[in-house]
């Protein structure tokens, strides 16, 4: 139980770090002049995917055991 809990908290930290790095990345991509809208969109999609998978547990919609 304790182990599992720690692991679950750790996932949260990792996702936060990844999202943060991507956000800073966006910020700097935007400083490059010209032609960056598509890159920004791709980063945004990556971020939203991480949020949906790890924070919103989208897989619990179809996985059988029903999340937690």
Partner 1 sequence: MSVATPYVEPAHHEHHELPYSEQLRNNRLGLWLFFTSEAFMFIGLLSSRFYLWGNTRPDLDQTLGLIVTSVLLVSSFFMNRAETAIAHDDRPEFLRSLLITAALGIAFLVGVVGFEWQGHIGPSDGAYGAVLFGMTGMHALHVVSGVIFILIVWNNGRKGSFSAERHWGVEACAIWWHYVDLVWVFFYPALYLMGHVVHG
Residues that bind partner 1 (CB under 8 A): 1, 4-5, 8-9, 12-13, 15-16, 19-20, 23, 26-27, 29-30, 33-34, 36-37, 40-41, 43-44, 47-48, 51-52, 54-58, 60-61, 66-68
**Closest CB 28 distance from partner 1, rounded Å:** 10
**Closest CB 42 distance from partner 1, rounded Å:** 11
Cα separation, 45 vs 62, in Å, equals: 21
How would you label 30-62 residue by residue, b for 16+ Cβ within 10 Å and e otherwise?
Answer: eeeeeeeeeeeeebeeebeebeeebeeeeeeee
């Amino acid at each position: 139980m304790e182990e599992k809990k720690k692991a679950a908290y750790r996932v949260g930290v990792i996702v936060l770090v990844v999202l943060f790095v991507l956000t800073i990345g966006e910020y700097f991509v935007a400083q490059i002049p010209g032609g960056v809208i598509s890159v920004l969109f791709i980063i945004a999609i990556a971020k939203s995917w991480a949020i949906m998978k790890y924070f919103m547990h989208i897989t619990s919609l179809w996985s059988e055991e029903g999340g937690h």
